[in-house]
Structure 1
Amino acid sequence: MIKLYNKGVYLVNNKIVSCEEGDKKVKSILGKRYINKEEARKHTIAYSILQNHNKSRDKKRLEIKFDALTSHDITYVGIIQTARASGLEKFLIPYVLTNCHNSLCAVGGTINEDDHLFGLSAAKKYGAIYVPPHLAVIHQYMREMMAGCGKMILGSDSHTRYGALGTLAIGEGGRELVKQLLSQTYDISYPEVIGIYLTGKPQKGIGPQDVALSIIGKVFKNGFVKNKVMEFVGPGVENLSVEYRNGIDVMTTETTCLSSIWRTDSKVRDYFELHGRKEDYKEMNPGDIAYYDGMICADLSEIKSMIAMPFHPSNVYTIEEFNANLYDILDKVEKDAWKRMSNKNLKFSLKEKVRNNRLYVEQGCIAGCAGGNYENVCEAASILKGKSIGDDEFTLSVYPSSQPVYYSLSQNGIAAELMQAGAIVKTAFCGPCFGGGDTPANNSLSIRHTTRNFPNREGSRPNEGQLSYVALMDARSIAATAVNRGFVTAATDIDANYNIPKYYFNKAIYDNRVYNGVGKANSGEALRFGPNIKDWPEMEAITDDVLLQVTSVLLDPVTTTDELIPSGDTSSYRSNPYKLAEFTLFRKDPGYVGRSKKIQAAEKRRMEGLSPEENNSELKSVYEKLSARFNDFNKENTLLGSTIYAVKPGDGSAREQAASCQKVLGGFANISREYATKRYRSNLINWGILPFIIKEETEFKCGDFIYFKDITSSIRERKPEIKGYLIGDGIKEISLSVGRLTDNEIEILLSGCLINYNKNKMNK
């Protein structure tokens, strides 16, 4: 079904020549056409797009300028506030502000709508596009109105992926968007490119989520595409509609790749023409001989209906296998889940949901940028037509991805068929994907065609005794399960007459409601603030000597950004750094905030010229040990802060709050074995948090201290190893690294954060 080539391949006239057979074999196959790998790398689609946007003369150290930016209402307030603090006068690049994440949350009274009106006022003042709540989810609007062949788009949402439309799009933390707004660049080393060679045609009932989950299951755990570009090629591409391609493409984020791009064809041309933008199309293909650093071969005809069990999209099984080995799989899922739980008093049992040897689920959702597209909804409706989801616990919600999609579904009767079957059809909203809507009941299981099923992402609160969970499935299998009243069923087990009426895009829906201020900045426009919108606190620069306390130790194999700072209704406080920081790690390590605040209070005393160790016996003891070990130790000149240790932090969302909340609480470092994503490491750097890597086996305990001498010189001189002193019962020397840093990243770290860095530049 799916095969991986680890040693790279040549793609020659759309045929694979594997380098696993050796260079001599490759040369003999190619003959006079042979070109070396470095030259053939230039013939990928990704290479040409990246170099066309590279402002550096160095083709391996890229400095990228994007064509457009996009943010939603969890991130744009913080981005604009940071840009204002850095001297922003107007947006010099098209910037789309959507309101699809907290448009339904009622937590905090007026604060969600306050943020929305702040966004509208900012669009008028600085010149942006403002998409009101319920009109479109962020990525659907970008597909419909902004993507184009050969373009690059940067978004402050991890699922910024428009590769099927010929756009190389990247999801990053908000500070990277701030850099673009201030005419700075996105700096990365040229990434490896992995080919995704598609053949065959999907069986009836197999949807894009089935294909995506199959690929994720093969490549996530082995890091096969981590921080690389996935390039979709092969004859199977032409057998997929553009909507189908979009559905696969948006899920590439869950592989931890950097971005994705697809070859384009007449179907993509028709998509742009349908949306009134035919000038944004051009045919894009790899060259006759292109080299890929690896290859994933997927025969679409062999893909089966899939299910991703809690708590990750890579925890995949075919539904056929799942139903045949139900108790064994559920037992494994339960045991794996139990290891992740900090509250051991919680009840967690999936096996209790088995009725007559079938798994019963209480809820289904088809929503967002992955599930809510037109074709997914139409084919789900085809399965449900003339049937009923029943009147028991099982519920089904369908969220079309934009108002134009909803309009067409209403015009052709698809929405009516869904309603008659018992489904609830709602407006465009990302809530079911991140915990802002449709939270299941305690100890309930929801099946969703959304992007993620991380712990508590559906809105449960284990610290309060509330736990529910999500399994990912394709819209078609969710509909098949609904036909069977909540018993997990593969769409391929249902004989349905699939009907996709022709889609007509009604652009007037956007013309009549979306504010387009691009190129029309009005400096006289006042920003509209609400009581919850606060400026960022002052953040100090790092000093030569630093003493950090370990305030949380996270030993899970992977720690998601959702675990670092929960999504859902918590995100309502996104515009108040102080209030949001109170939720840091509160579902994973409820004591973290208090511990961090305690050492932060000591640092504030130091800054005021008072004794830092007053009312802190731990710190007093550490000072005594350091004074005995180092003759030149000076507590008055030694910065105090906190750090967390995590095995592999940062999988998942691009929300920079996972880093900024640590900084607001006095965090100055993370220590890890590796970082799950490039974007989380970038978030740390942009908030002045040192991204330490430790290779040796070292046991950290909560409450330990780590002392660094002359760390600013170590960073500026790019020392491969930075010496630290772990202070617990005794003092142990340890070796850490911050990895490769650009010149700008060094200055950002030493300045204390990106805001300080830009202020320093303005004052020169």
Structure 2
Amino acid sequence: MITLHDGGVYLVNGTSFIEDNAQAAAAIQAETGLSITKEEAAKNTIAYGILAEHNISGNMEKLKIKFDKLTSHDITFVGIIQTARASGLEKFPVPYVLTNCHNSLCAVGGTINEDDHMFGLSCAKKYGGVYVPPHQAVIHQYAREMLAGGGKMILGSDSHTRYGALGTMAMGEGGPELVKQLLNKTYDINMPGVVGVYLTGKPQRGVGPQDVALAIIGAVFANGYVNNKVMEFVGPGVSGLSADFRIGVDVMTTETTCLSSIWQTDDAIREFYEIHGRREDYKELNPGQAAYYDGMIEVDLDKVKPMIAMPFHPSNTYTIEELNQNLMDILEDCEKKARVSLDGAVEFSLKDKVRNGKLYVDQGIIAGCAGGGFENICDAADILKGASIGADEFTLSVYPASMPIYMELVKNGAAASLMATGAVLKTAFCGPCFGAGDTPGNNGFSIRHSTRNFPNREGSKLQSGQIASVALMDARSIAATAANQGYLTAATDLDVEYTSPKYHFDSRIYENRVFDSKGEADPSQEVRFGPNIKDWPAMSELPEHMVLKLVSEIHDPVTTTDELIPSGETSSYRSNPLGLAEFTLSRKDPAYVGRAKEIQKAQKALEAGTCPIDAVEELGPVMAAINQTFPEKGFGEKKEPGLLGIGSAIFAVKPGDGSAREQAASCQKVLGGWANIANEYATKRYRSNLINWGMLPFLIPEGELPFANGDYIFIPDIRKAVEEKKSEVAAYVVKDGALQEFTLGMGELTEDERTIILKGCLINYYKG
């Protein structure tokens, strides 16, 4: 089903492989007549060509990218625009689309969410953007329908910003990276590796895009095969997939931890653009005659079976057939893994879902940027035609990804077929993906065609003793399970006549409802603020020397951004930095906020010109030990602003998997956080978020942990180390009145990143 090549591979004539070895050049010449080096062949990938067209650095090893378009949703755009406004924003320099698909449930939190929407509308008018009202489209479906273009690049403040199937290289990043684009700056990265995904064969009837995606994720996540690389989909199997199918696979590439994705394009994609009235945005994309890839994933589509990703990660994959055959063993293993993810905070069980030897699920959901596509829902309707989902616990909700899709489902009868079964159709909303809406009962088990199944993504609250879980599946097998009234069933087990109706896009919905400035700014427009929209608090520059208290220690193999700052009900506070910060690590380490705020008192005392020891008494012996070892620093005598900084840090093995949300870092910062310490960072985007909020992304080798939660760490001359571009710094843990030295790494930092850290955050950097 999935084969991974151990090293680099040349794709020749789009159909054959030559392994990267001493004989490769001769083999390529024999097959193609070309005399080509690895460096030249690497330029023949689709990804290289698009990056080269958007790079303004003149150096393809050190990229400075200018994107064609930007997009954000309503739990990110307020913070982004507020940051850009504080940094001198006058006009959106490129098309910027503000969608409202996350905080659509405006009853949650009173007027808070609708206030954010009105802020977005007023900013679209003032700065020249596009505003998509709630319930019209989820962010990525609108981008597919209205923004994507062959050979273009789009940056979005949502991790699932992936439009590679349409020939658009798209990336999801934290808000500060969009701020840079709004201020006419660049996205700076080293040239990423490019991994080929070579597709052959054709999926079986009943196998959908989520099945293919989960098979790939299961093969590459744990080993980091595509981490921070670009996945390039090629091969004869591409042509046998519809545009919708490709989109469904593509959006899930985020869960591999790759940087971005791109696909070869053909008439199916040309037709997609024609259907959406944008024929001119199509561009044929193919790799060159001999293209070099840093790795190759072979996917035999013929052999892909209906898949399920069990709690609590999209890589925890099994075929449904395998799960049903080894049910109790697999459920026991999942429960063991859950005890690690949940830290034993609540009782969690799956084996009690087994009834008469079959797995019974409580809920099915087909939704969002992954599941809410036209073909997914039409196939689900075909599977369920004439059936009943039953009158027991099991429920089924279907969320079309945009109002144009919903309209077509109404016109072709699919909506009626689904409703007749007992299923509920709802408007475009991302809530089921991040824990808002359709929350199961305690210990409920939900199967979803959505993007993630991390803990709490279904809305449960560990701190309240509530737990439910999500497994990811394709819409077709969810429909088959619904037809079997909640008993887990693979779509391939049913004999279904798929009608495959043609899609017709009706642009009138957007023409009648979406505000589009056409790029024209109106400086006279007043920005509309609600009482929950707050400015960022002032942030200090990086001090000469630093005292950090470790206030949280996390030893899970991976820590997600959901665990760093929960989603769901906290979304209503995304426009209120201090209000949101109260939720930081609340589901992982509930004591974190109190610890961080306590040590923050010392920094506030320093900034007020008073003694930090008076504010935090336990600092007394810590400072005494530091002064004894470093008497020349003169702490306690000098009152120079910026000489000493006191704050908090967290340790996590591998933090930052999942969402692009900048608040995973900014919430730590507003609580006085100065650093993260990790063995590695799960994603480039989380590390960038730390840096953009002025936090040091420290590294320490695995197994070397000279400190523990509650310890103080002294880092002398940290500012000088950053200025002098040092990759390592000497640090000291304060133990028993003495200092014990160890080393912290910082990794590679660009000049701009160093300056941002020195300034204390991106806002300070742009203020000058």
Q: TM > 0.5 between the two?
A: yes
Between the aligned partners of 2:25 and 2:142, the Cα distance in structure 1 is 44
Paired residues of 2:699 and 2:746 also in contact (CA < 8 A): yes
Between the aligned partners of 1:232 and 1:142, the Cα distance in structure 2 is 20
Please list every run of 5 or more consecutive structure 1 residues that lacks an aligned counterpart in the other structure: none
Alignment of 1:669-708 (within 5 A): 669-695=675-701, 697-708=704-715
Partner of 1:718: 725
Q: In the alignment, is residue 754 of structure 1 matched against residue 753 of structure 2?
A: no
Q: In the alignment, is residue 741 of structure 1 matched against residue 742 of structure 2?
A: no
Partner of 1:496: 496
Deviation at residue 757 of structure 1 after TM alignment: 0.1
Paired residues of 1:141 and 1:402 also in contact (CA < 8 A): yes
Deviation at residue 278 of structure 1 after TM alignment: 0.2
Q: Which amino acid aligns with 1:693?
A: L
Q: What SS is found at the alignment partner of 1:244?
A: helix
Partner of 1:661: 667
Partner of 1:283: 284
Partner of 2:351: 351
Q: In the alignment, is residue 30 of structure 1 matched against residue 32 of structure 2?
A: no
Q: Which amino acid aligns with 1:167?
A: T
Between the aligned partners of 2:613 and 2:468, the Cα distance in structure 1 is 43
Deviation at residue 590 of structure 1 after TM alignment: 0.4
Q: What SS is found at the alignment partner of 1:624?
A: helix
Q: Which amino acid aligns with 2:443?
A: N
Deviations 1:140-190 (A, max 9, x none): 000000000000000000000000000000000000000000000000000
Alignment of 1:221-370 (within 5 A): 221-344=222-345, 346-370=346-370
Partner of 1:39: 40
* Larger CA deviation: 523-532 vs 731-740: 731-740
Deviation at residue 191 of structure 1 after TM alignment: 0.5
Q: Which amino acid aligns with 1:243?
A: D
Deviations 1:537-582 (A, max 9, x none): 0000011101011010011000000000000111110000010000
Q: Which amino acid aligns with 1:739?
A: G
Between the aligned partners of 1:397 and 1:147, the Cα distance in structure 2 is 28
Between the aligned partners of 1:29 and 1:721, the Cα distance in structure 2 is 43
Q: In the alignment, is residue 526 of structure 1 matched against residue 526 of structure 2?
A: yes
Between the aligned partners of 2:276 and 2:759, the Cα distance in structure 1 is 46
Between the aligned partners of 2:25 and 2:208, the Cα distance in structure 1 is 36
Between the aligned partners of 2:225 and 2:551, the Cα distance in structure 1 is 33
Paired residues of 1:343 and 1:462 also in contact (CA < 8 A): no
Deviation at residue 25 of structure 1 after TM alignment: 5.0
Partner of 1:605: 605
Deviations 1:331-370 (A, max 9, x none): 00001101222354x2211001110111111000000000
Partner of 2:508: 508
Paired residues of 1:269 and 1:278 also in contact (CA < 8 A): yes
Corresponding residue pairs, total = 758
Q: What SS is found at the alignment partner of 1:670?
A: strand
Alignment of 1:94-493 (within 5 A): 94-344=95-345, 346-493=346-493
Q: Tell me the TM-score normalised to structure 1 length.
A: 0.98
Q: Which amino acid aligns with 2:124?
A: A
Q: Which amino acid aligns with 2:361?
A: V
Deviation at residue 107 of structure 1 after TM alignment: 2.6
Between the aligned partners of 2:306 and 2:36, the Cα distance in structure 1 is 41
Q: Which amino acid aligns with 1:210?
A: D
Between the aligned partners of 1:471 and 1:291, the Cα distance in structure 2 is 36
Paired residues of 1:205 and 1:476 also in contact (CA < 8 A): yes
Between the aligned partners of 1:404 and 1:531, the Cα distance in structure 2 is 34
Deviation at residue 727 of structure 1 after TM alignment: 1.6
Deviation at residue 618 of structure 1 after TM alignment: 2.1
Q: In the alignment, is residue 549 of structure 1 matched against residue 549 of structure 2?
A: yes
Q: What SS is found at the alignment partner of 1:446?
A: strand
Between the aligned partners of 2:415 and 2:683, the Cα distance in structure 1 is 39
Q: In the alignment, is residue 731 of structure 1 matched against residue 736 of structure 2?
A: no
Q: Which amino acid aligns with 2:483?
A: V
Q: What SS is found at the alignment partner of 2:632?
A: coil
Paired residues of 2:72 and 2:97 also in contact (CA < 8 A): yes
Deviations 1:467-525 (A, max 9, x none): 00100000000001101111111111111111221111000000000000132100000
Q: Which amino acid aligns with 2:456?
A: N
Deviations 1:264-299 (A, max 9, x none): 001111110110000001111001111111100000
Q: Which amino acid aligns with 1:424?
A: V
Between the aligned partners of 2:644 and 2:727, the Cα distance in structure 1 is 23
| Sequence identity (%) | 65
Paired residues of 1:542 and 1:712 also in contact (CA < 8 A): yes
Paired residues of 2:342 and 2:455 also in contact (CA < 8 A): no
Paired residues of 2:381 and 2:418 also in contact (CA < 8 A): yes
Paired residues of 2:18 and 2:28 also in contact (CA < 8 A): no
Q: Which amino acid aligns with 2:735?
A: G
Partner of 2:584: 584
Paired residues of 1:105 and 1:436 also in contact (CA < 8 A): no
Partner of 1:652: 658
Between the aligned partners of 1:287 and 1:233, the Cα distance in structure 2 is 11
Between the aligned partners of 1:36 and 1:429, the Cα distance in structure 2 is 48
Between the aligned partners of 1:282 and 1:462, the Cα distance in structure 2 is 48
Deviation at residue 699 of structure 1 after TM alignment: 4.3
Between the aligned partners of 1:206 and 1:590, the Cα distance in structure 2 is 42
Paired residues of 1:453 and 1:470 also in contact (CA < 8 A): yes
Deviation at residue 737 of structure 1 after TM alignment: 1.2
Deviation at residue 593 of structure 1 after TM alignment: 0.3
Relative to 1, partners in 2 of residues 1:25 and 1:514: Cα closer, same or farther, differing over 3 Å? Answer: closer
Between the aligned partners of 2:392 and 2:126, the Cα distance in structure 1 is 51
Alignment of 1:531-542 (within 5 A): 531-542=531-542
Paired residues of 2:25 and 2:37 also in contact (CA < 8 A): no
Q: Which amino acid aligns with 1:77?
A: V
Alignment of 1:41-120 (within 5 A): 41-120=42-121
